[in-house]
Structure 1
């Protein structure tokens, strides 16, 4: 059964943002019995058209209802009212996941922070061919019928340790655990440092996969104010005193989505505050290699507090699924045990490929190619979007674009989607501020496969930004 417990008058008569008004109308319908358990809600686009709002507004309403435990969404089937007493989010145990929809096909995708094509196919293909040619005469088990030891073997860990070294920050092979991407490294760090119900602090704008991971495991995530360098020390100290957090998740180099790079002085302050309050630091340095000359990681200043995570995804290729975790030495075996308990390791052949790329200089060569390509793409972006306020770094995979005052982020994202361009709204990176509208969007300018494809997308966005001054824009 499909219901329609909404009307324009009902929504318009409620205070607050329209997405919250829609969610509250649904809650009232559930409480009154008008929308009993199992009721199928209208498709997002149908409801958006009926109410005269954007698809993004309805999606946020359904997302809020999902976090309240009132509905659940299934790709291909729709969104349904849940039975009372279902697996709602709580302070203990596993919380309900956020409501998600799969991205739609677009002509130009600029939503995911992928590294651009930079010779990966030829370089990695040659390395893989060499490995396969060596296998017939190799002693020991074949990578096709074996699993990798939890945390990786000696060769993989030695190559990773050398790759991660930055001046006096020099992990040893025994310090490094190989993971199936940085997300597994972050997940392992969360499981090692927190319990259900604990609070994890993070930048007010941050990588939302971590927020989703934390929510799935019943952890709270709370925002800390940021500035042009990233996390603000005074705000962190205040949050530490008020919220008694167990951990801090932070991206100090090429912060996602603002591209901020935290100074060494600021990093020392953050490390000292975390040590003083007994907060574990989960440092995501996945973009660090792209920044070239960069400050030492937080793990150097607070090695007994910091869980250092990164991967080859942004510097070589996301398909490698080779991530790295450097936990505090006292916690290394606990981290290895948790990795083993997850039952997920990097496929041995892929781990060997990653190790070879790092050891023979191929990974560094690809990284250099990526940096060069991104400089060209940033120059193109600055030229085609001239006159609009942007934050970026020449090697960053994305641009943080400020919209004209006529636009709200979700309305702009929806308008771009209708013209075949996929981008991310500023709200997608906000933590704990679902009632605020953003005036920013993130453009992942590394994702398009060619510069011509990127130009096509930027031309479309430039036209939309110009439309804002002709009265065409429709605020959410």
Structure 2
């Protein structure tokens, strides 16, 4: 056989991945097993696996084996087609229909405030009045110690995450993340060349014991955590858990990103981790989940010595976020309208959770915020279920997109808010329930 036999075998393996025979996060056969199956040698299989790892299709873990790389493409994980034929349970966003009128009014008020100064360049990340509005927003939901000096403006929470990762770490650095985490974090880390190590979760989110072990073993530069309504599991951290994590952050003197964009969904204000570890924590809040994804307004409360570092990165990256969005956001926050809108969305989410509980009775689940982390019946695998759901006009997000360590997550994430019309929301849930009741083997008899 020619020297390029391993490339032909790599093509066979890649075809199996593309066809769905080898699913994301699934473990591939051992070198010996696949060599016997394909009538070749283990050394040839090793070369094929190495080639596919270089192409980004496989991940190898010492002592565990070789796995199909999990998805990192946000466009696949979070779908936003402008097509009414789909019941879109993929997007985590507010019910936008009820927010159109106040948002329109806020932008009209913003236009009335236009001046050469208001819409021109400014030092730092943006105007002081807009940073003060960000302080007001985060303080309402429990953050202490924010001021116009240590608060920065970003183009939403995703930009804030990217900004901190790029400014506070270097290529090759290790970042600790929750074992199941927002795919946007995995995408940023992958593109930036940072190493991701997963930390175990429980019903309250990140586990302190597992975090302690990972801090000692991996000596990371940065830890990322979502303390409220964790994406995707929906876990809520207790105050004791937040203090335990803050203690470890202070003890090891490691940077922490606290992605707290769902804090407004709590029934009462809850102190974030940043309150207990202010010297090392970058606290992120934003308006996209409460008001609109179009209002790209994110806020970072940073340790004071790092403010100039972040400002320098913002200037080299985007110079500054759009003042127009922040003028409108400031109008909403100073008038208290932003907090009223957030409360309305919280109430809608609560009602949607009850509707879902009445319809989705095939499996047991819990939810607190905008989404459900839905376990699948035993005969379903997450990617196959997601594919079949789409074939039936239902968009959900496969649990495989959230896995930071290649472990199988036989769940799907289900947004409760992206379908604004309640009747259509119920219709979509009934369609989903029907699919959950369908035996996988009747659809895939192989």
1:330 Cα deviation from its structure 2 partner: 1.2
Please give the residue correspondences for 1:325-344 in structure 2 after superposition, counting only pairs within 5 Å: 325-343=300-318
Kindly provide the CA deviation profile for residues 223-264 of structure 1, in whole angstroms up to 9, marking residues without a partner as x: 100100001100000111111111100001110011111111
Question: Partner of 2:110 in structure 1?
Answer: 131
1:448 Cα deviation from its structure 2 partner: 1.0
Question: Partner of 2:55 in structure 1?
Answer: 70
Question: Partner of 1:113 in structure 2?
Answer: 92
Residue 462 (structure 1) aligned with residue 433 (structure 2) = yes
Structure 2 CA distance for aligned equivalents of residues 418 and 60 of structure 1 = 22
1:132 Cα deviation from its structure 2 partner: 2.1
Aligned pair in 2 of structure 1 residues 275, 67: CA closer, same or farther (>3 Å)?
A: farther
The TM-score with structure 2 as length reference comes to 0.83
1:130 Cα deviation from its structure 2 partner: 2.5
Residue 125 of structure 2, aligned match among 136, 151, 156? 151
Question: Partner of 2:271 in structure 1?
Answer: 296
Kindly provide the CA deviation profile for residues 453-474 of structure 1, in whole angstroms up to 9, marking residues without a partner as x: 2112211110011113x85254
Aligned pair in 2 of structure 1 residues 36, 240: CA closer, same or farther (>3 Å)?
A: closer
Count, aligned residues: 404
Coordinate RMSD, CA, aligned = 3.0
Question: Partner of 1:3 in structure 2?
Answer: none
Structure 2 CA distance for aligned equivalents of residues 66 and 390 of structure 1 = 40
Residue 441 of structure 1, aligned match among 412, 415, 421? 412
SS in 2 for 1:299: helix
Residue 160 (structure 1) aligned with residue 134 (structure 2) = yes
Aligned pair in 2 of structure 1 residues 273, 474: CA closer, same or farther (>3 Å)?
A: farther
Kept in 2, the 8 Å contact 1:409–1:439? The answer is yes
Please give the residue correspondences for 1:285-324 in structure 2 after superposition, counting only pairs within 5 Å: 285-324=260-299
Aligned pair in 2 of structure 1 residues 58, 301: CA closer, same or farther (>3 Å)?
A: closer
Residue 228 of structure 1, aligned match among 203, 216, 225? 203
Kept in 2, the 8 Å contact 1:272–1:302? The answer is yes
Aligned pair in 2 of structure 1 residues 422, 350: CA closer, same or farther (>3 Å)?
A: same
SS in 2 for 1:333: helix
The TM-score with structure 1 as length reference comes to 0.78
Kept in 2, the 8 Å contact 1:275–1:305? The answer is yes
Aligned pair in 2 of structure 1 residues 148, 456: CA closer, same or farther (>3 Å)?
A: farther
Question: Partner of 2:41 in structure 1?
Answer: none
Could you tell me which runs of 5 or more consecutive residues in structure 2 were left unpaired when the two chains were aligned.
28-48, 58-70
Q: Name which structure has the greater RCO, CA cutoff 8 Å, separation 6+.
A: 2
Aligned pair in 2 of structure 1 residues 156, 371: CA closer, same or farther (>3 Å)?
A: same
Kindly provide the CA deviation profile for residues 94-115 of structure 1, in whole angstroms up to 9, marking residues without a partner as x: xxx9566654655111112111
Aligned pair in 2 of structure 1 residues 66, 218: CA closer, same or farther (>3 Å)?
A: farther
1:193 Cα deviation from its structure 2 partner: 2.2
1:449 Cα deviation from its structure 2 partner: 2.5
Question: Partner of 2:65 in structure 1?
Answer: none
Structure 2 CA distance for aligned equivalents of residues 71 and 219 of structure 1 = 14
Residue 356 (structure 1) aligned with residue 335 (structure 2) = no
Structure 2 CA distance for aligned equivalents of residues 250 and 263 of structure 1 = 14
Question: Partner of 2:213 in structure 1?
Answer: 238
Aligned pair in 2 of structure 1 residues 101, 154: CA closer, same or farther (>3 Å)?
A: closer
SS in 2 for 1:157: helix
Kept in 1, the 8 Å contact 2:143–2:274? The answer is no
Structure 2 CA distance for aligned equivalents of residues 132 and 295 of structure 1 = 35
SS in 1 for 2:149: helix
